[in-house]
Amino acid sequence: MGLKYVESGPLVLKNLNIVIQPNEKVGIVGRTGAGKSSLIAALFKLAEVEGSIQIDELDTNNILLKDLRSKISIIPQDPVLFSGTLRYNLDPFDEYTDEVLYRAINEVELKDPANIINRLENRVMDGGSNYSVGQRQLICLARAIVRNNKVLMLDEATANVDPQTDGLIQKTIRKKFADCTVLTVAHRLNTIMDSDKVLVMDAGTMIEFDHPYLLLQNQNSTFYNMVAESGKSMADQLRRTARESYLRQLTVPE
């Protein structure tokens, strides 16, 4: 599969040929310009895709754009909220009951002692300016929980939030999306060290694709060097997380 943004321009993604199993958690890493965000563009068909992308053996070329995009949830780096009510932001097409929406709000722990920011009828200012960045991200997460899609994309979703919100988002995703395929474009390596696989990209191509623990066994691998560059204590912690995740995977019955 390849992708280009301009018809006469060069391919930004080249010769990508990977298989992601149902329910797998895949971290996507690489230097700036490696093509990580272009993968999202390809999945949502925001640009011209050469070749095919198949989901459950369905070629996305044969699916209406509206249907394709409605079946994939994304939590972006800069959370997008719309002017209107909190209800409208969680359920713009009025498809779900209050109970479902409030359950999602509780699951992301959008807490407020005064019950002002977490009521469905509460007004959301343009761009969500009356919510903090962390709260906006939690609302985007609640929106994804409500839709309950089987494919979830995280685009450096916790790059701009405080560590406490980061931890909450990671914990909620592990719990609520355990039965979903989750692709995470990673800003911080610690968010993807317990992934089933890590896709390492460079200049629009795949250069490594395996469990993080296995990639770390090769001292010449790009991923090994990325971990090493994080500093000794952080690198030790990342290796420990990858090892524990790998051992857990080995002990899970088929």
Q: What is the pLDDT of residue 179?
A: 95
Q: Which residues of 30-39 are buried (b: 16+ CB within 10 A; e: fewer)?
A: beeebbbbbb
Residues 6 or more apart whose CB falls under 8 angstroms from that of 173 comprise 141, 152, 154, 182
Say which amino acid occupies 184.
Answer: T
Q: Tokens in use for 141?
A: 């997460």
pLDDT of residue 201: 96
Cα(167)–Cα(98) distance, rounded to whole angstroms? Answer: 27
Cα dihedral sign for 168, 82, 71, 79?
A: negative
Amino acid identity at 98? D
Domains and CATH numbers, the chain: 2-251 (3.40.50.300)
Contacts of 120 (CB under 8 A, 6+ apart): 85, 86, 87, 90, 98, 101, 102
Cβ-Cβ contacts under 8 Å for 65 (sequence gap 6 or more): 45
Please provide residue 42's backbone torsions phi and psi, each rounded to the nearest 5 degrees: -70, -45
- One pLDDT digit (tens) per residue for the chain, 254 residues: 999 998 888 899 999 999 999 999 999 999 888 999 899 999 999 998 999 999 998 999 999 999 999 999 999 888 889 999 999 999 999 999 999 999 999 999 987 766 667 899 999 999 899 998 889 999 999 999 999 999 999 987 777 788 888 888 888 888 999 999 999 998 789 889 999 999 999 999 999 999 999 999 999 999 999 999 999 999 999 999 999 999 998 886 65
Spatial neighbors of 74 by CB under 8 A, at least 6 apart, are 40, 44, 144, 152, 153, 154, 155
Q: For residue 117, give both structure tokens.
A: 């920011």
SS3 50: strand
Residue 126 in tokens: 């343009």
